[in-house]
Structure 1
Amino acid sequence: MMRARARVCSMVALSLGATGCPAKPTTVPEPSPVEEVGSAAPIMPAEPANRVAGDELEATIPVIGGQSIELSSLRGQPVLLEISASWEPGFVEAHNLYTELIGEHSELEVIVIVADPADAGLDGLSPAFTLAWDPAGALAAKFSVATFPTMFVLDRSGRITRVVNGWDDAVRAELTDAVAGAVAGPVAGAVASP
């Protein structure tokens, strides 16, 4: 039986070898056109996150060093919360602006959230910032952050006054304006006078 199988396999192999295999095409397909890298501005989504002005932002944020902070514990003071990465364009410029904003508005809480707590880009940031990290992108996913950096400005009641992403002069102006508005806004828990 084994000899019969071996003979059949040999005959099949010989038959295939005699008829030959079809030749591979010798023409090389035309390469697809390659767009010049860096020639176009990045595409920014219509909405930077799934949270918008007026929403109350709730989160437990892991702080680098082992503790965590509840955003609700910051009621009564304005907050600038950034979810970013040090390799993003504008990282240094944004944090220079945040330092200026804290100089103008000492009650402003700035929280910088990055993916890696050992990120060397965090070295040299203002000690006035709360440095936090986002294990496995959980916060970025929770808020459906479309791109880095995404910044949330919260008023004293913990409500979002502005959500912006990216970095350029327009974002700088928008953040400066939003922080000034959040600082000037009513204190959390205050009752308006009639």
Structure 2
Amino acid sequence: MRRTGKKDDPSARERILVAAEELFAESGFEATPTSRIAALAKVPKGLVHYYFQKKQDLLAALVERLPDEHIEPAHVVVPGDVAASLRRLVAELDARNRASTLLSHLLWREADTHPSVKEALQSRFVTVVDQVRAVIQAASTAALPLTRVETAAELLALAVSYRHSVARYADTDETMDREVDFIAAALCAR
């Protein structure tokens, strides 16, 4: 909870968040003292605590900075082509992840030790499953068994989540294309 009474400096708060993101990703949450965050942000240490009473509050603020994962199916669906529609969805999700690769890496790293981060990542996973399901259903010209759609949605969401967790280290476009083709073929198989 932020205290009141002092004049807010949004640029200082932003510098603190940027510094925390960089240092947490580099050294980990536990190994990063607030004094290093203050030094990198070029603010007094007390100002870090003015905006974020506890270091955990910094992590919570970073979770809130993740880009929105909601994508309207109409923006990516190619009617009658499930594979093309899923490729477009994955491309859009990847573009949003690229806007926060360092933050995404940091949060995947801290998910095991911070329940709020784990909950945020689980919520994002559910959102991606919902997105994939909606795109499959909108792109398909035939009625598909719900269990098959659900399994495909969860499988592709797992692949996307894994891809985003290692985005700093690997380029997996070709692998993702194969996975999308496999899922689309399995969905449409009679």
Which range, TM-score by smaller chain? under 0.3
Structure number having the greater helix percentage? 2
TM-score in terms of structure 2 length? 0.27
Q: Identify, as 1 or 2, the structure richer in strand.
A: 1
Return the index of the structure with the highest Cα Rg. 1
Larger RCO: Structure 1 or Structure 2 (Cα < 8 Å, ≥ 6 residues apart)?
A: 1
